[in-house]
Structure 1
Amino acid sequence: MFALFGTLVLERLGISLAALQIAGGLVVGHAGFGMIVSRQTLTDDEKTHGATKTDISFSPMALPLIAGPGAIGVVIALTARNPGVANRLGVIGGVVVIAAAVTVLLRFGTPVVDKLGPTGLGALTRIIGFLTLAIGVELVTHGVLAAK
């Protein structure tokens, strides 16, 4: 939806593409930084609730990274910088491919997590967090350069 109508929403709200890129970059960068530094992300009530459920497939950390404000901002920025039907279809195609890849990873990721163990998973989380932070910085940089 945001690939098709995101630029219209920006225009109606009076938000520039540069501001969107900076805001999206800050959100993505914040998520990446949170993966690098260890901190408690769940409340005690959330931990208790998660421990009693038989299906814990919903991940509060993963959902905002997959389809949250940062992802929405990137899609809007891509379509705004590359107008035209073919480009929008390309962005939509990219979103579909990424959605399929995420589906496969979430479906079959448990054996990999089991093999990595807590130490390997912590190291992988910090590496991916660093790369996510770098993507956020790149988005902010593009936004600042576009604002000049």
Structure 2
Amino acid sequence: MPAIDIALLTASFVTFFVVIDPIGVAPIFAGLTEGSTAAHRRKMAIKSILIATVVLLAFAYGGEWLLGALHISLDAFRAAGGVLLFLLALDMIFEKRTERREERAEKLAEEEVADPGSHEDISVFPMAIPMLAGPGAIASIMLFMSGDGGTLIGQATILAGLAVNLIVCLILFLAVGPLMRIMGDTLAAMITRILGVILAALAAQFIFDGISGALL
């Protein structure tokens, strides 16, 4: 039986942890569900994770077919995905992504205040898409599956890295209140910046791989 590639598992876990950013998404979930019942928060947490999983799996196994239909080479997508992830990393380092997420949360909170008798379904938008299954996560799953997902053990390893991150998100969503009080805004901002630097390095590697593949 083939052994699990620990390096691939680590790379996929770290990449998805950075692009999904469970620590950054959890406060937004807390803000969007503030004032909701515990049952509603639990429902939104589970539903958003399930929807994000379906979306990412669809791109994992159908993304290459889509690229073929559009006549886009994997190397071109690799380079373009690297550029996209690098821009995302810059947003994380300078906290632009956090600002946009907070603006979305404030907008939805204002809409709920206007109609306090209802709790909005936030599972599809903005939690599942684009906060969990956003452009960065979609590009990452397609890049991994096109590169190291040629075997069943490779696919299982990549999906295991994704699954662990989604489970972490679910745990954080279900326990977000106490965790946010313990972590605080300063620690969350520091972790986001560190992850941004790591993502920038991973994005640069994707770009280099795409360019070298196209030239060879």
After TM superposition, the score normalised by the length of structure 2 is 0.55
Instruction: Tell me how far 1:11 sits from its aligned partner.
Output: 1.1
Q: 1:29 to 1:62 in 2, by over 3 A?
A: farther
Instruction: Tell me how far 1:60 sits from its aligned partner.
Output: 5.3
Instruction: Tell me how far 1:33 sits from its aligned partner.
Output: 0.9
Instruction: Tell me how far 1:52 sits from its aligned partner.
Output: 6.4
Is the contact between residue 3 and residue 92 of structure 1 (CA under 8 Å) also seen in structure 2? no
Highest relative contact order (Cα 8 Å, sep 6+), 1 or 2? Answer: 1
- Which residue number corresponds to residue 64 of structure 2? 7
- Letter of the aligned partner of 1:14 in structure 2? H
- Letter of the aligned partner of 1:137 in structure 2? A
Identity of counterpart residues, as a percentage?
25
1:31 corresponds to 2:88: yes
Q: Distance in 2 between matches of 1:34 and 1:60?
A: 18
- Letter of the aligned partner of 1:47 in structure 2? E
* Segment of structure 1 superposing worse, 79-88 or 118-127: 79-88
- Which residue number corresponds to residue 140 of structure 2? 74
Q: Distance in 1 between matches of 2:146 and 2:92?
A: 29
- Letter of the aligned partner of 1:79 in structure 2? M
- Which residue number corresponds to residue 47 of structure 1? 106
Which segments of 5 or more consecutive residues in structure 2 lack a partner in the other structure?
A: 1-57, 114-118
Q: 1:131 to 1:45 in 2, by over 3 A?
A: closer
1:108-129 deviation per Cα after TM superposition (whole angstroms, max 9, x unaligned): 2443322232222222222222
Q: Distance in 1 between matches of 2:158 and 2:102?
A: 37
Q: 1:46 to 1:2 in 2, by over 3 A?
A: closer
1:32-75 deviation per Cα after TM superposition (whole angstroms, max 9, x unaligned): 21121144436978635435648797795995463122222222
- Which residue number corresponds to residue 104 of structure 1? 171
Question: Could you say what the CA RMSD is over the residues aligned between the two structures, in angstroms?
Answer: 3.3
1:91 corresponds to 2:148: no
Q: 1:109 to 1:26 in 2, by over 3 A?
A: farther
After TM superposition, the score normalised by the length of structure 1 is 0.74
Which segments of 5 or more consecutive residues in structure 1 lack a partner in the other structure?
A: none
Is the contact between residue 24 and residue 73 of structure 1 (CA under 8 Å) also seen in structure 2? yes
